[in-house]
Amino acid sequence: MPYVLGITGNIACGKTSVGRMVLELGGERYIDADALVHRLYEPGQPIALRVGELFGDAVLTADGGWIARRWVRLSFMILSPATSGTGCASSSP
């Protein structure tokens, strides 16, 4: 019976490296969720278009792709407890 292994963790904690190690140790397949998500934000994709509608052209490339760093920076500015008073970006209760 095959096993399914999910690798989770924070940003830049080594999920991709561990996934590659699993393949080297005989794992059959590794699905990189980050790569899948990045494809959703390519130029012309519905999600990229919607992000542009919501956040403006500042988060899109000239061809309509998504600029992740700008979007993340803008999102945290909007959701920051210091600027919104909502605490939405906070991980504490």
pLDDT at 61: 80
Task: Specify whether 3 is located in the same domain as 42.
Answer: no
Whether 14 and 45 map to the same domain: the answer is: no
Please indicate, yes or no, whether residues 8 and 25 belong to a single structural domain of this protein: yes
Using one digit for the tens of pLDDT, what is the confidence trace for 32-65?
888 888 888 888 889 888 888 887 777 778 887 7
| Co-location of 42 and 26 in the same domain | no
Q: How much is the pTM? A: 0.53
Give pLDDT tens digits for 6-26. 888 887 889 999 999 999 999
Tell me the C-alpha distance between 20 and 29, whole Å: 9
Residue 77 domain-assigned (yes or no):
yes
Number of domains in the chain: 2
Q: Is 85 helix (H, G, I), strand (E, B) or coil?
A: coil
Domain that holds residue 21: 1-31
pLDDT for the residue numbered 48: 83
Residues 24 and 42 in one domain: no
* Joined tokens for residue 8: 């989770």
Enumerate residues 6+ apart whose C-beta is below 8 A from 68: 38, 41
Res 81: pLDDT: 55
